[in-house]
């Protein structure tokens, strides 16, 4: 049984800092369909439309009938472990630093036989296992074999933590603790076992409801931070940047306006200054130091979380300029993901539907509670996801955009999108 994870010891300053390395990551274009599903927490394989064969690895033609009609379908992952081995030596730099490493072969109930990374609690073959698709440090899909039933301390497995960003015993920086959502995120991270949580808050002279209760949590330290002020970000980054394992950017400015419903550009400029330029300033100060710590043992920098909005994917005219600022932030987050990839630091984008807050009062239900958003963020960290769509509205938007992005744009313009 997996032993409980222990609090990491203070790092010996004489010991070398390991440079980040990535596992082998070259994949075919076809195989990226598997990666796209894993980024959202699904295990999908190709199934032939003609003969119903489920195949692995992904190919451009069916391995049985050569049909090219190969849609991706979700697989439950159940199967039989038929063999296993433990890697004790490797010429690959990534695995060389992490051996011993356990691997196995699983015959899936769906048909194909696959090679998987084995969780430490999987018993020797023959055994029933559950295979899931995860993202490795290179951001590519890999298969992991788990015990069929959950066991104690399952998330603490050494190999599994290479594929996840579990906040347990990690140090987290939440950029804005003034909002109900930011405060819910801090409490959820504390409950998930985060060792230290630094919480930024602009305008510290204001008495924000809930901030005093937040400060009473033993893991929490409040830091003055204004994401519109480069000097403020630089000072905080110099103070805690080299210690941050997970950064959660909850800072946002939201007003319910379109284009013709107000004069001037002051509100739109502020939305861009916080939602887009704020992210850029944070990335410029915290990004390089987190990249340098991408392989720093148990206390490695592992994740950057951006609280975006489902409105970033298609403009919601009633919140038009806010939607535009979140779309800009999404584009920047994709750039950040590409730049953080060489260090193995995962960039997680969260696209919630309308949150039950001040600026969504006039939107009809369903709306997300701040706690629901916080729970989704912690779950994404534990599962090592890249894109998360919390709530019914976000899930519906995601589905309808896949069906017809242009048709859905017309529906939103007519006021029937939510």
Kindly list the catalytic residues. 322, 326
H runs (alpha helix) in 51-118? 93-96
Q: Per 3-state DSSP, what percentage of the chain is helix, strand, and coil (rounded to 5)?
A: 35, 20, 45
**Rg (Cα) of the chain, in Å, rounded?**
22
**341-to-49, 139, 241 alpha-carbon distances in Å:** 35, 7, 18
Spell out the SS3 assignment of 253-294.
Answer: CCCCCCCCCCCCCHHHHHHHHHHHHHHHHHHHHHHHHHHHCC
Which of 34-56 are b and which e, b meaning 16 or more Cβ less than 10 Å from the residue's Cβ? bbebbbebbbbbbbbeeeebbbb
Distance CA 317, CA 409 (A): 10
Please check whether residue 364 is in contact with residue 404, taking contact to mean a CB–CB distance below 8 angstroms: no
Q: In whole angstroms, what is the distance from residue 129 CA to residue 307 CA?
A: 35
Q: Are residues 377 and 185 in contact, defined by beta-carbon separation less than 8 angstroms?
A: yes
φ and ψ of 103, to 5 deg: -130, 160
Which H or E element spans position 14? none
Cβ neighbours of 86 (radius 10 Å): 11
* Whole-number Å distance between alpha carbons of 88 and 195: 32
- Give exposure, 178-207, as e/b (b: 16+ Cβ within 10 Å): bbbbbbbbbbbbbebbbbbbbbbbbeeeee
Neighbour-count burial of 246, counting CB atoms closer than 10 A to its CB (0-12 exposed, 13-18 middle, 19+ buried): buried
In terms of Cα–Cα distance, which of 206, 316, 226 is closest to 270? 226
Contacts with 144 (C-beta within 8 Å, 6 or more apart), sequence order: 116, 117, 118, 119, 131, 132, 133, 134, 159, 160, 163
């Amino acid at each position: 049984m997996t032993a409980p994870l222990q609090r990491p010891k203070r790092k010996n300053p004489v010991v070398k800092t390991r440079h980040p390395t990535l596992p082998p990551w070259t994949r075919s274009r076809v195989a990226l369909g598997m990666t796209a599903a894993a980024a959202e927490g699904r295990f999908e394989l190709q199934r032939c439309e003609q003969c119903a064969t489920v195949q692995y690895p992904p190919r451009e033609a069916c391995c049985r009938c050569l049909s090219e009609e190969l849609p991706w379908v979700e697989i439950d992952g159940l199967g039989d472990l038929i063999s296993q081995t433990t890697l004790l030596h490797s010429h690959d730099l990534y695995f060389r630093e992490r051996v011993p490493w356990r691997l196995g072969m699983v015959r899936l109930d769906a048909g194909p036989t696959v090679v998987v990374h084995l969780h430490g609690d999987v018993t020797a073959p023959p055994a029933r296992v559950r295979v899931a698709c995860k993202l490795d440090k290179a951001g590519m899909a890999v298969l992991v074999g788990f015990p069929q039933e959950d066991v104690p301390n399952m998330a603490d497995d050494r190999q599994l933590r290479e594929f996840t960003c579990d906040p347990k015993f990690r140090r987290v920086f939440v950029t804005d603790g003034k909002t109900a959502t930011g405060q819910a995120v801090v409490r959820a991270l504390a409950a998930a076992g985060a060792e230290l949580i630094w919480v930024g808050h602009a305008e510290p002279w204001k008495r924000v409801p809930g901030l005093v209760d937040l400060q009473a949590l033993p893991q929490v330290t409040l830091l003055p931070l204004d994401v519109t002020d480069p000097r403020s970000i630089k000072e905080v980054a110099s103070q805690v940047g080299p210690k941050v394992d997970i950064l959660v950017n909850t800072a946002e400015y939201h007003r319910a306006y379109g284009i013709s419903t107000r004069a001037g550009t002051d509100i739109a400029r502020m939305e861009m200054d916080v939602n887009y330029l704020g992210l850029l300033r944070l990335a410029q100060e915290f990004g390089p130091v987190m990249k340098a710590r991408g392989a720093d043992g148990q206390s490695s920098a592992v994740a950057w979380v951006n609280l975006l909005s489902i409105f970033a994917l298609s403009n919601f005219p009633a919140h038009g300029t806010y939607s535009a600022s979140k779309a800009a932030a999404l584009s920047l987050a994709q750039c950040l993901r590409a730049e953080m990839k060489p260090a193995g630091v995962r960039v997680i984008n969260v696209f919630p539907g309308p949150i039950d807050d001040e600026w969504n009062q006039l939107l009809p239900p369903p709306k997300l509670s701040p706690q629901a958003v916080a729970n989704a963020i912690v779950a994404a960290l534990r599962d090592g996801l890249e894109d998360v769509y919390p709530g019914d509205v976000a899930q519906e938007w995601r589905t309808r955009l896949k069906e017809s992005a242009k048709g859905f744009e017309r529906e939103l313009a007519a006021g029937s999108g939510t």
